[in-house]
Amino acid sequence: MFTELTASDGHSFDCWIEDATGKRRGGIVILQEIFGVTDQLKGVAARYAAKGFDVAVPALFDRHEKGAVIPFSDAPRGRDMMLASDLDTTMLDAKAAVEALAARGGKVAVIGFCWGGGLAIRAAQVLDIACAVPFYATRLDSYQIAPLKAPVMAHFGTEDSHVPPEMLQAAREYFPEMEVHTYDGAGHAFANDARPAAYDKEAAETAHARTEAFIAAHM
């Protein structure tokens, strides 16, 4: 369900919360693609809640348009909202979500997809988190501005047109400690099961299994 959180600059925003089932293992903040808090991301939240994690998905577009959820067919609109977003204030919202889960006890990890994948890298630079896992993070060069303070595992498809090989190689060199997994034949958004043309079930399931093990190791 949605709850309201307030960032340290006074901005209030919606945040989707999935409570852990079974024995609680910690918290996970999921950072959105350029489409907002979609039903697909809510499904990812439910997946990890079923593994014992409290999960929060902050509505990062609320600073521009309250409750904005962009259809997958309208990517340019989502891209424009992403480009209009300020990195520092966006991270204030991510920080508020991390702190909301930390207040429940235990460590908190961050998972991000697409735009949120890049933000997950930034979270590993500036937030107090256990670890971060970006899926097909975009704009990688934008985050080559500081060292990582938390462990990072990253997932990329070899056919991702948003992340050309030279961009990924530059990121590997800037973040030599970042664990990187690539998936042959997979493209951008390969883990989004609501986008049939992009979804690669084998790559997605492998990436999620690796992610769960990585987070568990750092909790």
- Domain positions in the chain are 2-218
Residue 136 backbone phi and psi in degrees, to 5: 35, 55
pLDDT on residue 146? 97
How, if at all, do strands 179-183 and 153-157 pair? parallel
pLDDT on residue 60? 98
Rounded mean pLDDT, 213-218 = 97
Q: For the segment 41-84, what is each residue's pLDDT rounded down to a tens digit? A: 999 999 999 999 999 999 999 999 999 999 999 999 999 999 99
Q: For the segment 88-133, what is each residue's pLDDT rounded down to a tens digit? A: 999 999 999 999 999 999 999 999 999 999 999 999 999 999 999 9
pLDDT on residue 209? 98
Q: For the segment 157-200, what is each residue's pLDDT rounded down to a tens digit? A: 999 999 999 999 999 999 999 999 999 999 999 999 999 999 99
Asked if the 2-218 domain carries CATH number 1.10.3720.10, the reply is no
